[in-house]
Amino acid sequence: MTKDTDTMIQTVNKKRKEFLNILMKTIHMLKGSDKRITLAMIAEAIGKGGQSIVAEEFHVSRDTIRKGRCELETGIPFEDAFHERGRKKAEEILENLLQDITDIVDGQSQTDPSFKTTRLFTRLTVKVIREQLIQEKGYTEESLPTNQTLNSKVNELGYQLKKVRKVKPLKKIKETDAIFLNLNEKHDRYKGESNVVRLSIDTKDKVKVGAFSRGGQSRINVQAIDHDFGNVYLTPFGILDLTNDDLDIMFTETKVTADFMVDCLEKFWIKQNYSSNIDTLILNADNGPENSSRRTQYLKRIIEFAAKFNIKVILAYYPPYHSKYNPIERVWGRLEQHWNGGILDTYEAVLGYAESMTWNGNKPCISFIDKIYETGIKVEKKIMAEYEKMIDRAKGIEKWFIEINPQKCQGVFQMDIKVE
């Protein structure tokens, strides 16, 4: 064999491989019946052993080629039915699964023990849903999909885990916009003034004292009793200084009254030594029952506070349904996160956890007030009419914005005050 002949053979073999590659790529671009018929035609053209050769070269099964040969002979293509291949979805196997999950989640009703509301209290986990599918809907452990699959189905139905958070209030009163407008105007006007202090005050919900779980997490092994019966409580009252982020929290085992609040305010004022250089106080609060602008004892005590320390007091309340805007509300959220993983079984534990919290890098000042305050104190109407002369209520929003000038409060301590 000459050199030229050898070269020609090599060139022909190279071209054959190129043609074969082109053929293979073209055939793989075909789908379904067209691909099977083409492979069957090639196998038939090869002759004996054609099915094995085509199956090996084109990486298909001989069953595929035989099916193509049948289609070639009959002219009738097979239905591929791709939708019937693979693992079926859980809801295809268990037709009522999604509806049963919806029934359990939407209809979950751990009733309010007082029967005063229809509020739902159960926190549903996938484990709980699985148990209830078995108990209430008749499923078996083996018939249900894995918890991972069940979790996916719950999420697909729109029941994803969500953080509980406060949202923009849906309810408004007609004065809401005017109240916020006035609040913003006063806050902006006095912002940065060295002679002005802005305080935010609020009373947190009562804290039950006992070896009960509060639903938090801890890095150490903490055990709690399996019930939360008990009647021992502490109530926190907070004062947040928005000029420097100083925070005082006072605890009491009795009800937080108007007298309690103003006594705490006076102690805070003296501790901060504000009498020497502050002549204006902006006091933000919710218009709650004990510190309402219509609470006669509270208003009386605040007027006396203004006269005693010779300062202008601006009572700036947030409107109903908008308490989350009161800055100290964020303190309560931080406190709950801080002590939820602990056991608040003693007064010392409650105060200790509160003291170990930080607020914007500062440690709060924590104290326990053991004085017993009388409740239900009211100022006589005639006397209250005299006090009303000492204050200025904003027109149109009289309940939510009050200015008390110390000049108008002269002689307040010489008044013959009677309570009923």
Report the 10 Å Cβ neighbour count for 50: 17
**Residue 78 and residue 84: Cα distance in Å, rounded?**
14
Q: Which residue has the tokens 């009733």?
A: 111
Query: Could you name the CATH architecture of 176-414?
Result: 2-Layer Sandwich (3.30)
Q: So what's the pLDDT on residue 125?
A: 79
Do 368 and 351 meet the contact criterion of CB atoms below 8 Å apart? yes
Q: So what's the pLDDT on residue 257?
A: 94
**Residue 143 and residue 137: Cα distance in Å, rounded?**
12
Q: So what's the pLDDT on residue 186?
A: 92
Q: So what's the pLDDT on residue 4?
A: 67
Distances (CA, A) of 190 to 187, 216, 276, 312, 328: 6, 40, 18, 13, 19
Location of each CATH 3.30.420.10 domain in the chain: 176-414
**Distance from the first to the final alpha carbon of the chain:** 131
Q: Are strands 312-318 and 401-404 parallel, antiparallel or unpaired?
A: antiparallel
Q: So what's the pLDDT on residue 167?
A: 54
Q: Are strands 280-286 and 312-318 parallel, antiparallel or unpaired?
A: parallel
- 335: nearest Cα among 253, 216, 201: 216
Do 110 and 132 meet the contact criterion of CB atoms below 8 Å apart? no
Question: Helix H segments across 357-420?
Answer: 381-388
Q: So what's the pLDDT on residue 409?
A: 83
Residues of the chain below pLDDT 70? 1-4, 80-86, 106-124, 160-170, 212-230, 341, 411-420
The structure's pTM equals 0.58
